[in-house]
Structure 1
Amino acid sequence: MRLSTVILPVHRWHEGGRDRWTRAERLGFHAAYTYDHLAWRTFRDGPWFGAVPTLTAAATATERLRLGTLVTSPNFRHPVTLAKDLITLDDVSGGRITLGIGAGGNGYDATTLRRQDEAPWTPRERADHFDEFLPLLDKLLREPSVTHEGRFYAATEARNIPGCAQSPRLPFAVAATGPRGLKLAARYGQAWVTTGDPKLYEAGTPAQSVAALRGQISRLEEAGEAVGRDVMELDKILLTGFTPDRPLSSFDAFVDFAGTHFGLGFTEIVLHWPVPGSDFAADEQVFERIATEGPAQLG
């Protein structure tokens, strides 16, 4: 069982930012991730720092903790420049980077770089971009020189020497629930990420959420069969905070929640580091007790 955290990039590095990453390592988390967005929901009008510089700083401040994004998307990234950043991050961290990556959504990332009269991508267009983005990124991280001319992306002798510190490349944790994304996860992922069924967050029940997650895992298995891969070898990551459950409400609530979801087949649960006054507000003492005592309760 793995227990990880996600630290939102909302604190200046020298005013609490650094301390959260180093404390995550001391608390024994398997990994600490951060969001890769230009802005996000209720945090839009407050501090919000870049994912790649934040992870670079975290890499120099920690020694053992795995680090990564949950998640990066094509909404404002290009495979060539992202590959260069990732190779550098993997080198600075000594091979501790996991790339969480998905097709992206329709929030601020989808509109900030576009003209006001330009509509954001539709779900189909996001899936189309992701279909090309992920295979190209995979190739860029594995090969020293890549030339590609596709529908959305081009690369001409893009050099990525010496490549990732991890071999054959750093791991991908692919966020997906639709059929095309699940096939990409099955083909290219070392892990699969979900937040559950968003339609159930406000009006659903925990039992309905469990059923929805069970269905997602079943569809992932079908996607694996379609591409000829046994997805039992993929880690299955649940990013909490978007289901009807409240696992940070108490230590016992977490143990019940984690036991149920590990029983479904999840191998890693990710908890948001508490952010007071937000949707991710929680008792920090409960959070730290979960970090230090929770894994032992689940074996």
Structure 2
Amino acid sequence: MSDQPRQPTPALRLSTVILPYRRWHEGSRAAWQRAEELGFHTAYTYDHLAWRTFRDGPWFGAVPTLTAAASVTERMRLGTLVTSPNFRHPVTLAKELISLDDISGGRITLGIGAGGNGFDATTLLKAGEEPWTPRERADHFAEFVPLLDRLLSEDSVTYDGEFYSAQEARNIPGCVQRPRLPFAVAATGPRGLKLAARHGQAWVTTGDPKLFETGTPEESIQAIRGQAAKLADACAEIGRDAAELDKVLLTGFTPDRSRPLESVDAFVDFAGKHAALGITEIVIHWPIPDSEFAADQKVFESIATEALAQLG
């Protein structure tokens, strides 16, 4: 047991995720600028080729979007939530991230996860080729994250693995943030939590997907508590204090998914219950009319400017 005094619990941070469904000059640019004006800690975007109900409409790339966002903001952090191996290779991704970190002045966080099934998982497949199983996705992720860690931290990397290779991959000058930009690892299973413990500066959860349709808010709280406990166990196995990792909750996927944005009071109640679990950052979706992320823009902005003060 360490003799060092226990660090105080960090203040809860509020962030947003802005989906890349609008043209830059037709609302997207204004949203990123407004997010900074509202004081959000970080503004993230999804890193997908297409996404669920938005598949048949406009959808833009994450890295160019974040590059543009970096050019019109100054203080707010920026990131993906999340990038996955579904259509990314560690070598090319590392080069893009180093460039993005430079352009933003060291404001990038990489949210990263194993990916799921669906459009991203099948877009690059050859005819007749089967998509990865959950185990295969976990296998790729287990190789992807350590290699990306090296590529962002070392000037030259040579690696021959089962799924990925790098032959004298050069990444000079490296990230502005040292030793590299932070990873926020999305994980709930044992293998992913071990990756978060070893390589993450933050851990990301959306709650328990099995509770999305029929679960209760109370069951969701218990599930997230259990996930956090398993993360702590994974950290303890390698001698790391779980308090070193930020704990990020991406909202919109728990049983009470719409309620937190109904009012400032509703959000404060929701956020307080999750802060008590150790969550240090809550991410809310920028409102999108006529979608599953529809919300009153005025209420959303009131939450951004008033809610954290009420949490103390």
- Do they fold alike, i.e. is TM over 0.5? yes
Q: How does 1:60-209 map to 2 (within 5 A)?
A: 60-209=71-220
Q: What residue is the counterpart of 1:263 in the other structure?
A: 276
**Are 1:35 and 2:46 counterparts?**
yes
Q: What residue is the counterpart of 2:285 in the other structure?
A: 272
Query: Quick one: which of 228, 231, 235 aligns to 1:224?
Result: 235
Distance in 1, Cα, partners of 2:36 & 2:58: 24
Q: What residue is the counterpart of 1:211 in the other structure?
A: 222
| CA displacement at 1:227 relative to structure 2 | 2.1
SS in structure 1 at match of 2:178: coil
Q: Letter of the 1:115 partner, please give it.
A: K
Distance in 2, Cα, partners of 1:162 & 1:181: 29
Task: Give the number of equivalent residue pairs.
Answer: 299
Q: Letter of the 1:22 partner, please give it.
A: Q
| CA displacement at 1:229 relative to structure 2 | 1.2
Distance in 2, Cα, partners of 1:69 & 1:107: 19
Distance in 2, Cα, partners of 1:222 & 1:34: 30
Show structure 1 runs of 4+ deviating over 4 A.
none
Q: What is the aligned-residue RMSD (CA, Å)?
A: 0.6
Distance in 2, Cα, partners of 1:239 & 1:146: 33
Q: What are the Cα deviations for residues 169-189 of structure 1, in whole angstroms up to 9, with x where unaligned?
A: 000000000000000000000
Query: Quick one: which of 56, 60, 66 aligns to 1:45?
Result: 56
Query: Quick one: which of 248, 257, 260 aligns to 2:261?
Result: 248
Distance in 2, Cα, partners of 1:256 & 1:153: 45
Distance in 1, Cα, partners of 2:139 & 2:182: 22
TM-score between both structures, scaled by the size of structure 1: 0.99
Q: Letter of the 1:230 partner, please give it.
A: D
| CA displacement at 1:201 relative to structure 2 | 1.2
Structure 2 gaps of 5+ residues are 1-11
Q: What residue is the counterpart of 1:287 in the other structure?
A: 300
Q: What are the Cα deviations for residues 87-112 of structure 1, in whole angstroms up to 9, with x where unaligned?
A: 00000000000000010000211000
